[in-house]
Amino acid sequence: MMHVEVVMVNGIVASLLVAVAAASQPEQAAQAPAPAIVIAPAGDTRPTPSQHTPPAARQDPTTLKAPESMNLSGPRLGVTFLSPGVVSSLRDDPGVGIDIGSVISQFGWQKEKRFYSGENGITAVTEWIFLFGGLDQGLVIPSFSWLVGLRSMKGVEFAVGPNLSPTGAAIAAAAGVTFRSGNLNFPVNLAVVPSKAGVRVSMLVGFNTRKR
């Protein structure tokens, strides 16, 4: 009889333990923290913590460095090759009457102004070139050109415009490239001026300090 009672007690205790374990599981689930829900006030457009993501880094436009563009104002010197027609025109024209060789020296000045600079480094410029030729032969032959053209960030350029000289008015076309050494620019240009009298071809070089 004692043995039967012990078995019954053990069975009751086991049943109670199972019941207690089953009852504690819903309580633990109820105690688990629920996800936080944040409700923003009406009219508040600020992101809630669950919606917030770090914004992508943006570069301040004010810190962007503009590409460098060159200003090549400065002295010019070189030579001009005159076709036989130009030499004859200068010699035979009663208003000029200059007896000159087919190759003359050139000294002068170029002044320029930039009126457009693109983000890709392309610069639109207008140039005024004043030259005095023939000084090596004891003569002063003035020439003036007004050119408009484009220059790349690397210094390659092309320009065209009117030219005035003792042989008359004509159209000048020029192309060139600029070489850099330290803080100096060395522009080298080739200009062609066809006219009724003939053709003039000039090779000019110059220098100036680097400017923005």
Q: Domain map of the chain by residue range? A: 74-209
Q: What is the pLDDT of residues 64-105, one digit of tens each?
A: 444 455 677 899 999 999 999 999 999 988 778 889 999 999
Distances (CA, A) of 52 to 36, 55, 58: 14, 9, 17
Euclidean distance between CA atoms 103 and 87, whole angstroms: 10
Sequential DSSP letters for 13-29: HHHHHHHHHHHHHHHHH
Is 50 exceeded by the pLDDT of residue 62? no
Q: What is the pLDDT of residues 144-170, one digit of tens each?
A: 999 999 999 888 999 999 999 998 999
Q: Which pLDDT band holds residue 63 (cuts at 50, 70, 90)?
A: very low
Q: Does domain 74-209 have CATH number 2.40.160?
A: yes
Share above pLDDT 90 across residues of the chain, in percent, rounded to a whole number: 46
Q: Which pLDDT band holds residue 29 (cuts at 50, 70, 90)?
A: very low
Q: What is the pLDDT of residues 117-153, one digit of tens each?
A: 888 889 999 999 999 999 999 999 999 999 999 999 8
